[in-house]
Amino acid sequence: MKDNKLIAEFAGRVHASTIDLHESSPPEGTWIVEEDLKYHSSWEWLMPVGKKCADAINDILKSDKYDENIDIRRKLLAFGDNISIAAGEFDLEKLYKIIVEFIKWYNKNK
């Protein structure tokens, strides 16, 4: 999937040439070739990223960066709600898309 690299970078992973591909999720800070990233097909890979997104949303909302911009605060709240809903519905594809959308927004607005 084309956005797996985007997710890996947001998750703090860096490229590593050797890794045990049989692990449920690669060790913190590492990833392999883009074709071997499994965020689009594995709950074990995607859920920690969903948690990181939720934490980033909460941190932004707690800061004063967007206190005066109600539209951005609403957008952040919607991202958080949508991540929770998709996870609660066990809809991996929906969660993946929402996470990608949030990361693109985050990278543009950080």
Domain boundaries, the chain: 4-109
Express each pLDDT in 39-77 by its tens digit. 999 999 999 999 999 999 999 999 988 888 899 999 999
pTM of the model: 0.82
- Alpha carbon 23 to its chain's center: 20
DSSP letters, 6-43, are HHHHHTT-EE-S---TTSSSPPTTEE--GGG--TTT-H
Band of pLDDT at residue 18, cut at 50, 70 and 90? very low
Q: What is the pLDDT of residue 5?
A: 87
CB atoms within 10 A of CB 98: 23
Interval 12-23 mean pLDDT: 57
